[in-house]
Amino acid sequence: MTGRLAFVESPVQLLNVLEWAHARGRGPAPAPAPAPAPSAEAGRAPGPDAAAAPAPASGSDTGPGAASDPASGPGTASASGTASASGTASVPASGSVPASGSGPEAGQGRGAVSAASDDLAIVVLSPNDPMSRGQLRRMAQLARDEGFAVHWQEARAGRGALVRTLRELGGPLRAAERVIVGDPFSRYVQLLLTLFGPRHVTVVDDGTATMEFAAQLAGGERLVRWHRKGDLGPRELLLAPVTSLARRRLAPGPHRTVEIFTSLPVQAPPGTEVTENAYAWTRSRFGPPALTGGADLVGTSLVETGVVDAEHYLRVVGQLARTHGATRYFAHRRETPEKLHRVAVETGLQVVRPELPLELIARRGPVGATVVSFPSTVVHTLPLALAGTGVKVAVCEIAPEWLKATASPRAHGFLAGVVGTASGADRLTPRGGSAADRLEFG
């Protein structure tokens, strides 16, 4: 039997590939890492021990948190912003974000990708976003520590990158018995699938988009991200044949099986196998975490994607911080430095750029006794990753008046579905005359 080949473009995708491999019995899990010592400062996030941080591969560029400007305002616990044991880097209140290098991992992205035997080869189709690259480097090192081969592919590195990537990956794709993908909406993945149709496909989570993918697959709809407008633009029209063929390659058929490996509540499309992701690898590998006395807030990129109004969002973040005694704000990797600067200055929260997916950050600890999030994947995944730790996860609903006028008509319904299906999280419901004025447990 030929091998298994995974394509990942985000840190969460890579984490869930490791979870899939663990669920399939790929290798024993190492002994759990020791929990960090509790902080001496009551009610605030303890300072981490830098020695426990996962080191980047030898010769790799420094990731986010390598350097930053001195703090110039409230909300910053570390002026340097250096990487910590919990896998986080503080963002200075000046709004500057530590830069990531742009080069590939040392020794990666070169040579042949091997998918031989019943083993798993992981290909990182590196994004351009510096924060995503930094998190991916650290996740790639964790995967190597687990014994997996990781190939770092500079798939978007200027002119000629696409042709070079297709040339290097064509052979392994043709030989692979199973292909694992993290983002079926990715134009890059769709193009690869149109050229090389695998016999077995596994889709792992890359956020709540898995719910939309399953629904679109079951309904025979074209693949489109939930926050996109309904109309096809010139680019979408040009790529429509690629998307259409990729959708067929992602659907089960007489010569193809499709598995969805997910922690989200999805209905299995006809002929598709849905396998539960219970975050067993994460729980066996890390924690349990030390708990702080306060709460942590989880940020979202809903402002950046044009769904939620920035002023409403900042007002609600401040309200949540005051109500729940939050001290830290874990930023989404796509949040802009300008918005994070406002969060730090206007709310007094310590803004933290996680250097690993939040499921690992929380499991490693320290973490707040309560974690409050807006509608996102973590309201489904954190209750699983933190099972048995005593941490309470709460999700804040998005009121219709918070949405921008230009938001997709599907946006509110989709976000409401994310909240309504989060069975492991408490619900915070906007009540009263103004949705931004009062937030209570529902």
Q: Choose among 372, 395, 391: nearest CA to 383.
A: 391
Question: What length does the chain have?
Answer: 442
Quote the CA–CA distance of 185 and 359 in Å, as a whole number.
23
For residue 246, what are the CA distances in angstroms to 6, 251, 260? 16, 9, 16
Among the listed residues 81, 64, 129, 38, the one whose alpha carbon sits nearest the alpha carbon of residue 351 = 81
SS3 276: strand
Q: What is the pLDDT of residue 204?
A: 94
Closest CA to 372 of 302, 428, 430, 290: 428
Cβ neighbours for 159, distance < 8 A, ≥ 6 positions apart? none
Q: Tell me the CA distances in angstroms from 55 to 58, 63, 272, one per residue in order.
A: 8, 10, 38
Please tell me the distance from the alpha carbon of residue 22 to that of residue 254, in angstroms, as a whole number: 28
For residue 166, the model assigns a pLDDT of 82
pTM of the complete model: 0.76
Backbone angles phi, psi at 117, to 5 degrees: 70, -175
| Residue 211, pLDDT score | 81
Could you give the CA distance from residue 202 to residue 380 in angstroms, rounded to a whole number?
20
Strand partners, 372: 297, 394
Both tokens assigned to 318 = 């401040």
Structure tokens at 283: 């729980």
* 194-251 pLDDT tens trace: 777 788 989 998 877 788 888 787 777 666 664 444 555 565 555 566 667 667 778 8
The pLDDT assigned to 63 comes to 34
Which residues, given as ranges, of the chain have pLDDT below 70? 1-2, 26-118, 221-243, 245-246, 431-442
**φ/ψ of residue 102, rounded to 5:** -110, -5
Contact assessment for residue 427 and residue 395, using Cβ atoms and an 8 Å cutoff: yes
Query: Which residue, 384, 285, 357, is CA-closest to 15?
Result: 357
| Cα separations in angstroms, 292 against 45, 88, 284, 358 | 6, 16, 22, 16
| C-alpha to C-alpha distance for 310 and 315, rounded to whole angstroms | 9
Q: For 36-129, where are the alpha helices, taking DSSP H only?
A: none
DSSP string across 306-341: TSB-HHHHHHHHHHHHHHHTEEEEE--TT--HHHHH
CA-to-CA dists, residue 232 to 104, 227, 229, 300, angstroms: 35, 13, 8, 26
